[in-house]
Structure 1
Amino acid sequence: MHLKCTLLARLLYVAMGVIFLLAPLPGAASGLQAAPPANAPLALEAPQSASVSVVQGQIRNRTLYEALAACDIPPAEILALSKSFKPVFDFRCSRPKDYYQASVDDQNLIRKFIYKTSPLDEYEAVKDDNGGYTVHKREIVLDRQVVAKVFTIESSLYQAVVDSGETQQIAGLVAEIFAWDIDFYLYPRKGDRIAVVYERCYKDGAFVKYGDILAARYVGKQKTFSAFLFNNGQFDGYYDETGQPLKKMFLRIPLKFGRMTSSFSIRRFHPVLKRYRAHTGIDYGAPMGTPIFATANGRVTFSGWKGGYGKLIIVKHSNGYQTYYGHCRRLLKKPGQLVEQGQVIARVGSTGLSTGPHVHYEVRVNGKPINPIKVKKSRGKPLKPELLAAFNKTVNERRLLVENLLKEKTSLVMLIRDN
């Protein structure tokens, strides 16, 4: 997305409870516009002409057939509509809150039909000359607002985001961006700050989802990390300020969110066996059923029960690396299958020698266990020199913004209407 004017020139900031507008927002009234509730009703369309009436409503605890039959739509008409819809949507997957709208002529035949499963998923059917319907999924145009905030960590990134009034989705998106560098359950310290520039997406005035994280900077007591989105049609990803990709061979941990419950150790007291033995990996506690990700591209070499590991998946990677994921509840991949970094391969469980739900994550090099925290994280290829000019043009503005955000003593908020 290309911003229409300089972000800094349109910065709204909050200090001492007062909102200052440095420049009017293009294409929108000045001042802040409160976000409408996310569960606002879906807008429905008006009749096309006096000879056409509209029947509409929610599916509720009915099938589509029952809902339309109650409006005196002929059975053959309903069946023809359902058949035409099958390539794009199966009405057997309907949910109670789905909306429908049928434009009906004076013979109770459907001329046009709209079906909405969410603000982002709408389907339209128009009657054709053969008595059937031409069906397509509608293209949804969203309004976007760009927001800039600083989150200060007291206990966790998740809590800092929720305390600011945003949802845990933002915490998840930030954790994904820095997944190659930061273990957010081990690294953060109280007082660490993170500036994030991100999109909120609206439809008909109602918030429907978060868009891209455009920029982020994590300032910790130990180290600072930066991420900037760059997309020129060929390259799409996150890079640091010098054009080096954030993506590396291994993710830091195999979960989006989890807490370290046991570290790598050559001598640990085993809670089940009640004796000292080596602990050749790291345990991450998480709720039962939490998705487990492959931390690097590779091929599954084992998927099944293996002694104290319980249900275990082993993935073979390049350069002699293997990763183990133990105590799983469900195994989602079979031996021989290729997996990609970040792909869900299993679910957290408590099988084998385990006292509670967690994943035992182990890294081996040429068969020898090593501390996962110390795995060398080789970077991908940097941007080519001929792309750096475009990259710097995109990044410089956002870099100045996050720097200014972090200089302030309070969180800053910037709302930009960008149609």
Structure 2
Amino acid sequence: MHDVVPMTLSDRTTAVAKEALRGGRRGPWAALAFAGPAVTASIAYIDPGNFATNIQAGAGFGYMLLWVVVLANVLAMLFQGLSARIGIATGHSLASLCRQHFPRPLVLAMWLVSEVAAMATDLAELLGAALGLSLLAHLPLLVALGIATIGTWAMLTLQRRGFRPIELLVGGFVAVIGICYVIELAIAPPDWPAFLAGATIPRLAGPDTVTLAVGIIGATVMPHVIYLHSSLTHDRVIVSGETERRRLVRFSNREVVVALGVAGLVNMAMLAMAASAFHHGHSNIDQIETAYHTLAPLLGPLAAGAFMLSLLASGFSASIVGTMAGQVIMQDFTGWRVPLWARRLVTMLPAFAVVLLGYGVTESLVISQVVLSLVLPVPIIALLVLVRRRDLMGPLVIGAWTTFLAWLAGGVILLLNVILLLQLAGVPVPGLG
């Protein structure tokens, strides 16, 4: 008599999802079986880089750049939805499809650029976790960085138990961050008319706002999770036939809207908190550490503690997701199998270099987000080229209207990047000072 192997949590989740795809289960409990990939991706949209850019934007310019946060979140929904779609339609990740269908020299260049993005990502995430630990536990930053590295690696070992435990862990971190910002807004309510105006009226006021706008885009629409999301969906639930595949895409689209909608609200709350607390009287605050130390006397220890707890949760969870994305980028572009420890070693080195060389943490975070925004066109263009190929996508190929919106969105990102590069080169941009 053979022993019965108990079903894991991931197995049970897959079984419920299959039943829902066949029409056997309905309602919110069935939908929860599909929640995971977009929730995992969403943590990249509320990572420490967002803290840095949103604090600088809110403190320096009030609610002016809220519209950039809204725009970035809409762009994120669009591209994450397309990334999930291509994984479901083809059964391959975006990086793997690039390796299969693009010329080898181009693939090599794309991989190298994407590795730079992975390193910039891990720089922001590890530094955020270390900074949170350092301030909360009064540890030297280098010691906190070592603890954050070990802690992240330990959490990543949950991958051995399937996809569901790591999804639940990341989802728990998202919940902690969200609750912390509900507390922040209760303590420091925003100026709602100014909030609504900032969220709906596009405005820029000079070179600094352009740099921050590009940083916000880079911190929100992140290249590494465009690669990761397609990998998370391509074999999570095995479908039978096109009807189930279409249903799976619908479930995925709903999850993207909900998960990234929550992440967008958290981003807006970050900027609004900085605008409410710092813009009048403390507009020169441009460091996360300064924001923390200013919040305690200004709004009380609860506000300061919630702020730093959210940063800590953000840093740990985003570092998990960043390492997962780095594995996908290296393995699927090159075909190599990379041990977790090796992947972690490669991406953590820039964070240790920043600390050892004495660079400012917040400035490093903002610069890392600008690097991400400059790299972002690479996965976006690859995604838009591939998702329009009927031989790859079959019935799930995107239509003309979606194609137009996607290329328009990509064009907005490219335009912001061009403006930033012109400013860095010292070329004056009309209307921006």
Please indicate the TM-score interval, normalised by the length of the shorter structure: under 0.3
| Larger-gyration structure (1/2) | 1
Q: Does 1 or 2 have the higher relative contact order (CA < 8 Å, sep 6+)? A: 2
Higher helix share: 2
Higher strand share: 1
